[in-house]
Amino acid sequence: MDYYVIKGGKKLKGEVKISGAKNAALPIIVASLLADGETVLKNVPDLMDIRTVIKVIEYLGAETEFDTVKNILKIRVNSIKNSEMPYELVKTMRASYYVMGPLLARLGEADVSLPGGCAIGERPVDIHLSGFESMGAEIKLEHGYIKARAKKKMQPATFTMRQVSVGATANLMMGAVLTNGKTVLENCAMEPDVVDLGSFLNKMGAKITGLGTERIVIEGVKKLNPVTYAIMPDRIEAGTFLLAGAITRGDVTITDCVPEHIQSLIETLIYSGFNLEVNKDRVRISNGKSLKGFMVKTLPYPGFPTDLQAPLMSVATTIPGISVIIETIFENRYTHVGELRRMGADITIEGNSAIVKGTKNLMSAPIMMSDLRAGASLVIAALAAKGATEIRRIYHSDRGYEKLSEKLSALGADIKRVKGGTF
């Protein structure tokens, strides 16, 4: 497996263009199944998760053509050939659940294998299923598969999610667009990724209002049409590069971004003492004169994103004083802490809170990624550490960061991707 070797201590300088948003692209690619014909998606990032979801829709009957140089994905749909998603395709990515909405909308049935290690009460798949049940689907769990059947066409309904869920909001929207009547979803996710999906569906001919609010209303239509659509910029990648600039005390400008989408991060960095210049589609970060600790709590949008919690913690380890980070979205999202401690970080975990005492210098160490966002935090930490840090299992970062090492190198980082190895 490939691994990174990063020699820390170099201040990052320059501009970096932000790629298309993975978390918007995934459901939008799946939503293309709702219309026959050719859909053209622009600004699609070349990531492992994107390639996985392409395999998913191809299995269901779509034909695709992905230009990874121009980041254009063409999807041709004539008919849906399968309503079953086998374990081999689902196991690597929970977002495969997104196929349930389009399959139920078009075919009235969907069989989706449970991912390995997944219980229905976790991350929270049960909200998807309860929502589909409210639209008339019967849900059964048989032989490791969730089997959903709608005897008639999916029916309009009013459904309140027991907690905010980005995935359920997206899935239920897709399931409702072809119903005969009005569906009302309450306690919806307001994330930009959900808004982007809704905008895509509306361009296809759907009638969705309330995007970006807690109440989304879908007026069912008879048919959707294929369109050309550009995926929005990735706010998590944008935030990650700002944090890379912060930890190296460099001068980094991110371009082709939407600053409003990372406002909570921008405010945190300004509070901590970094200099930020915010324009329409770019943000510049440079070092401040007197940095200080901060307190952050992860919350659904527009609150601080859980996906930036780990990278922010790496920066906190280098800021004088005490910083407190409270994780409220996911359990077990402090897997990066042990690796940061190996690099000299002073972090104490109390329940869902991390208390970080700033240190002057992180030290290089052999470390290992445990997941996508934890992996980003380790890369950021290595950029500031003394010596050469080897980071293993970097396939995690390939899931969510397009050309990460190339973009960092262009900013002046000393990072090499080494092929092979036995770890």
State the catalytic residues: 118
276 in Cβ contact with 288 (< 8 Å) = no
- Secondary structure letter of residue 123 according to DSSP: T
- Let me know: does 114 contact 158? Beta carbons within 8 Å: no
Cβ proximity of 336 and 225 under 8 Å: no
**Are the beta carbons of 4 and 70 closer than 8 angstroms?**
no
Contact 61, 82 (CB under 8 A): yes
- Work out the angle at residue 172's Cα, subtended by the Cα atoms of residues 124 and 224, and round it to the nearest 5 degrees: 150
**Residue whose entry in the numeric block shows the structure tokens 């999916």:** 154
282-286: strand order across its sheet: 13-17, 251-255, 282-286, 275-278
DSSP state at residue 394: T
Contact status, residue 91 vs residue 56, Cβ threshold 8 Å = no
Q: What is the token pair recorded at 215?
A: 């109440």
CA dist 54 and 42 (Å) reads: 14
CA–centroid distance for 172 within its chain: 18
DSSP for 163-223, please give it. S--HHHHHHHHHHHTTSSSEEEEES----HHHHHHHHHHHHHT-EEE-TTSSEEEEE--S-
> Distance between CA 73 and CA 42 in Å, rounded?
7
- Identify residue 341 by its one-letter amino acid code: R
3-state helix, strand, coil in the chain (%, to 5): 35, 25, 40
DSSP 8-class letter at 382 = H
Tokens representing 256 are: 């082709």
